[in-house]
Amino acid sequence: SAVIGVATIMLRYPMVFSAFKLAGGAYLAWLGIQMWRSRGRLALGVAGEGAEAPRASRRALAAQGFVTAIANPKGWAFFIALLPPFLDASLPLAPQLIALVGIILTLEFTCLLLYAGGGSSLARWLG
């Protein structure tokens, strides 16, 4: 029901949706500036100046990827706007939402695997 409520607010009050878009863009710009100014200190396993950085474990890298994906406001806004047309009000809502969220999580996981595999291949190729 939360998905439908948020989608309804976005459709009935486009100014609120625009405000969310602007706030999300400002947040992403702020994150980008913080990452740029940090010179890599926010990344996992990065040591100080001149020191050798320890290798992060696979679990730590997976956790960082998961947190990054979940914290991305663009993805949530996209899927909240995408879901309502696929819901049928005459059928029970819970099974529909479970199926749709399962599809979304599968797609997100697949994309992250493609990014990771592509990055790994690119690192080997550039090395």
Give the long-range contacts of residues 11-20, CB within 8 A, separation 24 or more. 11/84, 20/77
Torsion of CA 98, 100, 105, 111, to 10 degrees: 170
pLDDT digits (tens, 9 = 90+) for 45-102: 444 555 555 677 778 877 877 777 777 777 777 777 777 777 787 888 889 888 888 8
pTM over 0.75: no
pLDDT digits (tens, 9 = 90+) for 22-47: 887 888 788 778 777 776 555 554 44
- Domain range for 64 is 2-126
The upper half-sphere exposure of residue 4, i.e. CA atoms within 13 Å in the direction of its Cβ, equals 10
H/E stretch holding 117 reads: helix 93-126
Structurally, the chain folds into a number of domains equal to 1
